[in-house]
Structure 1
Amino acid sequence: MPAGFQQLGGETVTGTLALSVFTAVLGSLEFGYNIGVINAPQKIIEENYNATWVHRYGQAIPAGTLTSLWSLSVAIFSIGGMLSSFCVGFVSEWLGRRKAMLINNLLAFMGGTLMGLSKVCRSFEMLILGRLVIGAYCGEAGIRLDPYVRGRDSANQSARGAGHAAPILGLEQLLGGEELWPILMGLTVLPTVLQMALLPFCPESPRFLYIVRCQEHHAKRGLRRLTGRQEVGDLLAEMKEEKRRMDMERKVSIAELFRSPLHRQPMVISILLQLSQQLSGINAIFYYSTSIFTKAGVQSPVYATIGAGVVNCAFTVVSLFLVERMGRRTLHMLGLGGMCVCAVVMTIALSLLDTVPAMSYVSMLSIFGFVAFFEVGPGPIPWFIVAELFSQGPRPAAMAVAGCSNWTANFIIGMGFQYVAELCGPYVFLIFAALLLFFLVFTFFRVPETRGKTFDQISANFHHASADDAMMDMDMELNKTSTELDYFGDESIN
């Protein structure tokens, strides 16, 4: 729902509120859809790339070129997200949440149209460009929607999880066949059209109206529409207090985040948490699970891919119940540890596949477990912790850096996984197991628990750590000076 409604427990859910939440999370649905949609029809789209190459050049496409084109088709989605993640704050502050979402939908419409027409135009470049543009849409939607539906993260996460079920539509009997796959790729315009049609009926974020535009009257009107109450003084008082805190604290630039000793440590933690999400290997599963299941000897890899999507949806819901009952840090470590074990089991199963055919089932179950543990911890937790590590001043810059780190790692996995998999064979997931173990150890020693703590309590830990580091540096400097004095004293005696 629109930002500014963190505490609406027990309130009547009005039609306007339900409409606003539903409309906003359509962007999360598209995000999840475009992550997984390209997975199931991989072979058919690759055949289309080859047919296009033959039409142009009169010969089959070289295997290396096909691998590069397909990796680019998958990974360029992340480049779009990376570039747009830096524009979110500026566009939202300039236009407001609702208008920014309307403008952003133009990107989704352009991207879906390019992908949907790529086969008719005999142009794999259009598909690649469409993936870039739809990635730019998702980069803005993925970060902007989190504040817009603040207090309704369950709807946001559920919509994103539902989008991951896209491989179901990728079945050859549905839209994954040779003739219909462009419709599958272009289907992303439907939520866009629906969101554009519904947004004019949704109120602007009252928090934006009051805190950014200083329009108290309009903010009150929006609050009344969303809550169904005429008296909204308590909610307005919360926003007044938030505005007072924001006015007291100046905004921090990205460069200042890394220069300031106060912000440097939480910034490093934020970046590594984002890397733990993407370098876990989860998008190797979401992007390439059909080919992974094929190599694992699964007879119906597309159905196994659908199974992974269903597991993802189910455990997205499970994580919603756990995240406020268990510590952020605890859940993150549980997820990382579970994924590490599943990656090791997957490697063993794949390496024994030639001698023990039944290992194909073990590898399939380990992939399901890998996805489940991701949704319990590394999926949602990094974004929770990053938002809670920073106060109002540095938070926008910190979220931009965190988002860019996330998308960059996403691109590395999308672009490089096929090459590494060909090089390492069944042992490719040992690399992810090692990375997961590293992130688990880092989380245990360096990441604080943030659930139930105020920012001041969290910040005090970093102040204490910074003070300890400063004292250690001072002691080292004093010891160095003392040693030099002793040396020169001995020299003068000699």
Structure 2
Amino acid sequence: MNDTSATYPFKLWFAATCAWLGSLQFGFHLGVLNTCLNYTSIDLGITEAKGGAVVTSVLLVSAAIGGFFAGQVADAIGPRRALLWNNVPLFAGSFLSAIAPDGSTGFWAMLLGRFLAGLGVGTASLVVPRYLVEIAPTPIRGALGTVSQLFVCVGILIAFAIGLPYDGKEAFLNLGQHQIAWWRVMFAIGLVPATLQAIGMSTCPESPVWLEWKGHTEAAWRAKGQLQGQNPSALPQVTNLGATHFGDVEKQETTTFVEEGDGASVPLRAAGEEVFSSSEAGSSHLDDEELSGEGQWSDLVQRRFRRMMVLAVSLPLLQQASGINSITFYSSSVFTRAGLSSPIIGSIIVGCVNVAGTGVAAYLMDKTGRRPLLIASHAGMAISLISISLAKFLPLSKTLEGYISLVAILGSVMLFSLGVGPIPWLYLSEILPERIKGRAAALCTCLNWLASLVIGLIFPVMLELLDINGSYLVFAALNAAAVVFAYTFMVETKGRSLQRIMHLLLDSHTD
């Protein structure tokens, strides 16, 4: 991840790993029904296709609900406690789905289980990146946040892989004289990460940023010492120029000043951070005082937060508009033309590419930066989608068309995982100040999940009106628009303290 990683305490890596288990569950619950929906529907008496669609889509609806309230919960009790208690709906969702009785009663139990799991998924999608950004030292903040998306991909891959027994046949687990449907075992596996995360998060430090924001300065320093290896008692005497309340783990290196012998103040700075001028520091201090209180929903429309909110709302929506779900939808037919008849194996291949690409992104995030990676990711996806459309328009042999489409599909997945997948959630947690972070992130997360649901509903209509070629050209155009947007509005956050990012984005004119 970073060549300085060995200098950080075990507690940091332990806390990050516990948080990543939330992302693992996020991915697992998204993918677990993909391979077993038909067999689950038979056992639960779901005879109509719309019943299966309801079971699938209820998770997206409840994820939007969970995401909407998660920000305020994290604001109230802290990101660590929010992640700890989030395992209650995740555990209950897995449990209810696994024990749902056969017949129509089981349908309602499954529906409730998926609804509860969705609440946990929506909460995890917001709170995991927030906790990681707030505990991470600046030089590895991007890597820790990107590994969160890597664990989402790993969770999806695990869900696909444990569905392999259903490859072309019904499957059971034999316990003595009892046969247990394999889909029940699949859902029961979800109990394991929920239990592990609940135990692990109970021993992790709270976010130093949240503690500082709530006025618990000494507790914030203790937590930061545990996570970043600094001993608060050994710190020099400092002259505090005002609490930042910016959600910045590195705030003390950039806003507290050591008194020199001649009375000059020298700013403390962490390795890998940019230096900014004293005039900028003074301007930030004035902004800090304005941001020190509890936020309200009305704050989201204030002029000073305008650029932050435009970025925070747009990037997750552009992620959904990239067409990644339509690419996954089309991949099965592409794999079939390439000679691979098993849709489960095809899904596993796509999952492996996604994991590999996200792993590369974690390595590059703090080297290349968020902005160039996201621009390249959207641009590459646009080119890949255009390639698939051209392969079908041009007079090519079916074999050649199939190979071009296969390469383009896998390339699109790889390119998505390099930027469009991980960056919106990481960036969201980096650019929002604590005053509005809970409410703003909640709104953006809710909109993202609703956009996923809406695109899933309108994609079949697009296929009917435009065919796959025209549909992919629409998504290619949306990716091109995303390139223009990112180039125009994004600021780079790599190597910058959270306070410095706020200073760059905060509009100096207030309402």
Residue equivalent to 1:21: 16
SS of the residue corresponding to residue 366 of structure 2 reads coil
Q: Aligned match of 1:195 in 197, 200, 224?
A: 197
Q: Deviations over 1:393-417 (max 9, x none)?
A: 3333332222122111111133443
Displacement of 1:450 after TM fit?
Answer: 4.3
Q: Is contact 1:75–1:411 with CA below 8 Å preserved after alignment?
A: yes
Q: 1:395 to 1:102 in 2, by over 3 A?
A: closer
Q: 1:148 to 1:115 in 2, by over 3 A?
A: same
Distance in 2 (CA, whole Å) between partners of 1:194 and 1:239 is: 41
5+ residue gaps in structure 1? 1-7, 54-60, 468-494
- Note the aligned Cα RMSD (angstroms): 3.6
Equivalent position amino acid for 2:501 in 1: F
**TM-score when normalising by structure 1:** 0.77
Q: Deviations over 1:114-153 (max 9, x none)?
A: 2223363553343333222212101112211223223232
Displacement of 1:381 after TM fit?
Answer: 2.1
Q: Deviations over 1:318-366 (max 9, x none)?
A: 1112222224222212111111122222334456799614533332322
Distance in 1 (CA, whole Å) between partners of 2:37 and 2:396 is: 25
**Corresponding pairs, count:** 442
Q: 1:290 to 1:235 in 2, by over 3 A?
A: farther
Q: Is contact 1:169–1:176 with CA below 8 Å preserved after alignment?
A: no
Q: Aligned match of 1:337 in 362, 379, 386?
A: 379
Please give the residue correspondences for 1:267-416 in structure 2 after superposition, counting only pairs within 5 Å: 267-285=309-327, 289-290=331-332, 293=335, 298-349=340-391, 356-416=398-458
Question: Once the two structures are aligned, what percentage of the paired residues are identical?
Answer: 28
Q: 1:174 to 1:212 in 2, by over 3 A?
A: farther
SS of the residue corresponding to residue 324 of structure 1 reads helix
**TM-score when normalising by structure 2:** 0.75
Moved over 6 A (4+): 235-240, 351-354
Equivalent position amino acid for 2:420 in 1: P
Q: Aligned match of 2:501 in 450, 455, 460?
A: 455
Q: Is contact 2:147–2:362 with CA below 8 Å preserved after alignment?
A: no
SS of the residue corresponding to residue 367 of structure 2 reads coil
Displacement of 1:93 after TM fit?
Answer: 3.3
Please give the residue correspondences for 1:107-126 in structure 2 after superposition, counting only pairs within 5 Å: 107-118=89-100, 120-122=102-104, 123-126=106-109
Distance in 1 (CA, whole Å) between partners of 2:183 and 2:130 is: 34
Q: 1:335 to 1:390 in 2, by over 3 A?
A: same
Q: Is contact 1:41–1:176 with CA below 8 Å preserved after alignment?
A: no
1:172 aligns with 2:165: yes
Distance in 2 (CA, whole Å) between partners of 1:331 and 1:256 is: 31
Equivalent position amino acid for 1:101 in 2: L
5+ residue gaps in structure 2? 137-143, 172-180, 247-284
Distance in 2 (CA, whole Å) between partners of 1:229 and 1:350 is: 59
Equivalent position amino acid for 2:163 in 1: G
Computing the radius of gyration from Cα coordinates, the structure with the larger value is: 1
Distance in 1 (CA, whole Å) between partners of 2:407 and 2:57 is: 26
Q: 1:22 to 1:389 in 2, by over 3 A?
A: closer
Q: Is contact 1:331–1:377 with CA below 8 Å preserved after alignment?
A: yes
Deviates more, 1:219-228 or 1:105-114: 219-228
Distance in 2 (CA, whole Å) between partners of 1:306 and 1:236 is: 56
Distance in 1 (CA, whole Å) between partners of 2:55 and 2:331 is: 16
Please give the residue correspondences for 1:215-294 in structure 2 after superposition, counting only pairs within 5 Å: 216=218, 218-226=219-227, 230-231=231-232, 234=235, 241-243=243-245, 248-249=290-291, 250-258=293-301, 260-285=302-327, 289-290=331-332, 293=335
